[in-house]
Structure 1
Amino acid sequence: MNKKLINPPELFDGAAFGMSQGAIETQSGLIFLSGQVDWNHQYETTEQSVEGQMRKALANLTIALENAGSSVDKLLRVRIYIRGEFGEYTNAIVPIFNDYFGESRPAMTWIGVASLASPETLVEVETIAFC
């Protein structure tokens, strides 16, 4: 197995946490992206709402995908983590998903959780794609 690490300079540096933003298994072309959140380079959120953080996490996902030589159309699986009860946010975030994923429609799992990367982090988006 050979892997290529994905660490776009536009995203926060994961080295402090012993992680990369993603890794490509070069033989199969599978891309495993770490959970994307609304963090700047100082590991701070920039949005205060679930909707705002979702948009920012998806924007960061686009950066990571493009840096890996992929795109939204090549997403295979998406896991969405939201702090709290996921159902409370369905009406607000489904339109965001529809706009972002369009006809790509990857396999998706929605998970409500008690905590994420920081107390201010409300959303995390983890994916598998191909090159």
Structure 2
Amino acid sequence: MTIKRINPLSIYDGAPSGMSQATIDTDLGLVFISGQVDWENSLTVNKGNLAGQTRMSALHLITVLKEAGSSVSNILQLRVYVRGEVEEQLETIIPIISGTLGGARPALTGIGVASLVSPDTLIEIEAVAKVK
């Protein structure tokens, strides 16, 4: 198995914590994307609300997909981690996620959690996609 690591310059550098934004198994043609949050290179949240963080996390996901030679239409599985009860957040999250995905309809799991990478982080989105 050959592994290729993906780390777009516009997204925070995960090297100090020992992670990559994505890894590609070149034999299988699959890209595994780390949970994307509303961080730039500053390692701090930019948007104070769930809608803003969802948009930025989705945009980071698209950036990583492109860098990996993939696209939204190639997403096989999407996991959305939300602080608190998922059901209470669906009205905010779903229009943004479905707008980002367009016609793609990957397997999707919403997971409510007590905490994420920082106290200000409200959502994290990870994915598995095929490479074009």
**Bin for the TM-score computed over the shorter chain:** over 0.9
User: Matched residue pairs, number?
Assistant: 131
1:93 positional shift:
1.5
TM-score (norm 2): 0.97
SS in 2 for 1:27: coil
CA contact (8 A) 2:58 2:97 kept: no
Indicate the RMSD between aligned Cα atoms, in angstroms.
0.6
> Where do residues 1-131 of structure 1 align in structure 2 (5 Å cutoff)?
1-131=1-131
What residue identity is the alignment partner of 2:125? V
Residue identity matched to 1:44:
T
What letter matches 1:88 in structure 2? E
Q: Give me the whole-angstrom Cα distance separating, in 1, the residues matched to 2:95 and 2:65.
A: 21
| Amino acid in structure 2 at the alignment position of 1:10 | S
CA–CA distance in 2 between the matches of 1:96 and 1:37?
14
- Specify the code of the residue in structure 1 equivalent to 2:126: E
The Cα shift of 1:72 comes to: 0.2
Q: Which runs of 4+ in 1 moved over 6 A?
A: none
What is the percent sequence identity of the aligned residues? Answer: 47
Secondary structure in 1 aligned to 2:64?
A: helix
Name the TM-score, length of structure 1 as normaliser. Answer: 0.98
Distance 1:92 1:63 in 2: 22
The unaligned stretches of length 5 or more in structure 2 are none
- Per-residue CA deviations over 1:69-117 (Å, capped at 9, x if unaligned) read 0000000000000001111111121111221112111000000000000
CA distance in 1, matches of 2:30, 2:56: 24
**Structure 1 gaps, min length 5:** none
- Classify the secondary structure of the residue corresponding to 1:64: helix
Quick one: which amino acid aligns to residue 95 of structure 2? P
